Structure 1
């Protein structure tokens, strides 16, 4: 298992009826990998792997037949021509998620380190705005702002609306009524 917490899911491998594969061709493996990074200002356009939470190495990396069939059915319902696999194959892993299912875009308790974590694998569509948040946060904190006391507020690039990054703080209070799973 990698030292980067992430989920790697194999899609389309060995499936009949895949529209991207011609008859007689080997079926491609499509992978989706979700990772978290710790950003550090001294390393522009690069990242450093975040350590896994305690206990993540003990997570089961086997998929039961029932779990496999559940995921196949879910995929088949969403992708009309996906087809059905002849055998159980795939990669199982873990991913990071916060208790309230909101990501953490924040500094860490260790000066000079910043995190964009806890995305539960669904924030890839928000990568551009998350990068904007992180850039503004890093600039402000490195200039001396105490983000824990006075949270950075970023102007949204399209509508110009204020976005309080305190909402995504590692120290934010948890709402007892907040969703506790991906279904809300």
Structure 2
């Protein structure tokens, strides 16, 4: 399909596609949290998060800006969010014989998924309001990210509580 033949999506269609993309990527990120090798899981999750932001940018028609996505994701996710420090710690716990893999298996998937869900929501909201990769300010968006992180964590906990009832 050439540029002149691109399909134009309505804002509602863009929103629906973005929500599906974010949710599916969060599930993928949670799966990567199961990788038993310390640090490898973090690298894979980081790559998936960069891919998510790239796909959201494409969906919103936001021009790419070189390696800016990787820098923005690192700045937002690594810029003081306590859960992510815990994610890194959980990754390192996997190296501790016997106890480490159990802790990693119990905690890493949830933390990875929650982080990716929040990240996707922040960038989707930014792009939805006309923002670009060049005007994204990680320091200004950090409070929004942390609020989305808390919201995603709460949603995950509610879903886990409801899961036994559904069985």
Q: TM-score, normalised by structure 2?
A: 0.23
Higher relative contact order (CA 8 A, sep 6+): 2
Structure label with greater radius of gyration: 1
TM-score, normalized by length of structure 1?
A: 0.21
